[in-house]
Amino acid sequence: MDPTMALLVTSFNFAQTAVSSFKANNSMLVSSFPLSLQTTFSAQSSSLFTPKLVIYSMLTRCDEMRKARQLFDSMSERDIVSWNSMISGYAQGGYYEDCLKLHRLMLETCNLTPNAMTVISVLQACAQLKDLRYGMEVHQFVIENNIEMDISVCNSVIGLYAKCGSLDYARELFETMSEKDEITYGCLMTGYMIHGYVDQAMDLFREMNCPRLSTWNVLISGLVQNSRHEVALELVREMQSFGFRPNSVTLSSILPAFSHFSNLKGGKEVHAYAIRNSLDQNIYVATSVMDIYAKAGFLNGARQIFDQSREKSVVVWTAIIAAYAAHGDVKEAVILFEAMLNHGTQPDTVTFAVMLSACAHSGVVDQAWKIFSDMYAKYSIEPISEHYACMVGVLTRAGKLSDATEFISKIPLEPSPKAWGALLNGASVFGDVELGKFVFDHLSEIEPQNAGNYVLMANIYSQAGRWEEAKTVREKLVNVGIEKIPGGSWT
């Protein structure tokens, strides 16, 4: 028999045995797979098919991370491909902590040596978590184990250091690379933009020969995030002069610039371009246009985009809820929230923050408590500082200052300046001098440069006729080097 054919037959027999054994020992797990995977499992049980292919299928097509991990854990033998599939799945799916935990488990429990593919996934997770220490350990592992520093590994290392703020080291590695691609430049430019070094990012971009659309998009997005809105718009025009047509990433990156200027006409023009080029159903484009329309007061336009969206993900639902909430229509926001639940779409942390903010602005205390309580009880979502701050806002706006004070004292996290600020604002509105002084003293320690806190406290004293104390607070405002920004006009 031909040696290649013999190898295939051996592999075929091994696969049959492995799958039969797996199915026999894991029938309950297999029955819990989505129907498409159960069908695949049955149809391919007599072909070259092993559990690691199921893992890969689940990670790439079904996002069934928990079941994929169950399948991974049930494997009697795991090769490097199996480990890499699971580690990569965690990294690509945004489960960065799980990615690092599994990487540690790999190092501690098996005799396999991580390879370049492992390293790339783990470094991606480190970069997203901004875990520089662990990332440096991985980089050291690469050097000590002579893992080839090809362009993909180098890009991952540069991405880690750039995102974590070690820009000098990232640039040093960048300069030593004999071969660079678009990703190399993009990683370093992204790092510069994240940390506010806009000019350095622009200079690096100008060094490139014939940058691709993806690199133009990196720069445009970074400019908008750094509030260089006019420069971003100019760059889009320059990009078009070189023959590039904006894609969905370009549009979703530049649309916030129109929102910043409340430029409804510009937003409509971009929306029309998106429709002509079949980009209007992209959720990031759609939600960005909805945001522009809502901020410009064109709520009917935002609702029309929502109604016409074929794929109503949680992002799209949250965008339209936020639009109504921003206009003070908490009733419609609640109706949409309930419609989303009936639609079978699960809310996320942003959805809850939007709903609680809407309740805060409308003084709907009972509704806010129900939403806040349901977060963990019904949806297993742990409240974060933003949610606690919103609840403080709900209580203070309703005049329940003692309840708000008690609530903030029981927050399991360190209360954020935003939460304390909401309480100070409540003290200002209802003239509670003693509470205001207590909160102001605390805020002076955690954010001494926030001019708004000084202004609020001075106003609290003034409203109570305590002019000398108000004067003292205003003097502190000057002494710490803060200048209150005067009002302005476009006349």
Give the C-alpha separation, 407 to 391, whole Å. 8
Which pLDDT score is estimated for 33? 39
Q: Does 57 score more than 50 pLDDT?
A: no
* Amino acid at the residue 266: G
C-alpha angle 375/376/382, rounded to 5°?
Answer: 90
**Segment 391-420, tens digit of pLDDT:** 999 999 999 999 999 999 999 988 899 999
Please give the model's pTM, rounded to 2 decimal places: 0.73
User: Once rounded to an integer, what is the mean pLDDT over residues 69-98?
Assistant: 90
Which pLDDT score is estimated for 259? 86
User: Once rounded to an integer, what is the mean pLDDT over residues 39-51?
Assistant: 39
Decide: 328 and 361 in contact? Cβ < 8 Å. yes
Q: Does 2 score more than 60 pLDDT?
A: no
Give the C-alpha separation, 394 to 162, whole Å. 39
Which pLDDT score is estimated for 481? 57
Q: CB within 8 A of 23, min separation 6: which ones? A: 30, 41, 45
Residue among 256, 255, 281, 283 at smallest CA distance from 269: 255
Scanning the structure block, which residue is given the tokens 């003290």?
427
C-alpha angle 460/418/194, rounded to 5°?
Answer: 135
The pLDDT-based confidence of 482 (bands split at 50, 70, 90) is low
- Lowest mean pLDDT segment, chosen from 154-163, 167-176, 200-209, 468-477: 468-477
- Cα–Cα distances in angstroms (integers) from residue 181 to residues 162, 215, 392, in the given order: 16, 10, 49
Q: Does 344 score more than 50 pLDDT?
A: yes
Which pLDDT score is estimated for 103? 96
Give the C-alpha separation, 96 to 221, whole Å. 24
**Averaged pLDDT score across all residues of the chain:** 85
And the tokens for 168?
């000098």
Q: Does 489 score more than 90 pLDDT?
A: no
Residue among 106, 171, 99 at smallest CA distance from 128: 99
Which pLDDT score is estimated for 58? 47
User: How many CA atoms, within 13 angstroms, populate the side-chain half-sphere of residue 339?
Assistant: 15
Q: CB within 8 A of 265, min separation 6: which ones? A: none
Q: Does 477 score more than 50 pLDDT?
A: yes
Give the C-alpha separation, 292 to 257, whole Å. 9
Give the C-alpha separation, 440 to 455, whole Å. 10
**Segment 98-113, tens digit of pLDDT:** 999 999 999 999 889 9
Beta strand ranges found along 171-229 (DSSP E)? none
The pLDDT-based confidence of 192 (bands split at 50, 70, 90) is very high
And the tokens for 474?
């205003």
Q: Does 343 score more than 80 pLDDT?
A: yes
Decide: 472 and 480 in contact? Cβ < 8 Å. no
Q: Does 32 score more than 70 pLDDT?
A: no
**Segment 128-153, tens digit of pLDDT:** 999 999 999 999 999 999 999 999 99
Residue among 255, 337, 326 at smallest CA distance from 288: 255
- Lowest mean pLDDT segment, chosen from 5-9, 49-53, 220-224, 346-350: 5-9
Q: Does 21 score more than 80 pLDDT?
A: no
**Segment 223-255, tens digit of pLDDT:** 999 999 999 999 999 999 999 999 999 999 999
User: Once rounded to an integer, what is the mean pLDDT over residues 323-332?
Assistant: 90
Which pLDDT score is estimated for 407? 95
Which pLDDT score is estimated for 24? 42
Give the C-alpha separation, 10 to 1, whole Å. 12
The pLDDT-based confidence of 60 (bands split at 50, 70, 90) is very low
- The secondary structure of residue 179, as a DSSP letter, is -
- Lowest mean pLDDT segment, chosen from 82-86, 217-221, 357-361: 357-361
Scanning the structure block, which residue is given the tokens 């997770």?
125
And the tokens for 398?
């309703």
Which pLDDT score is estimated for 364? 86
Phi-psi region of 17 (alpha: psi -120 to 50; beta: other; left: phi over 0): alpha
Give the C-alpha separation, 403 to 170, whole Å. 49
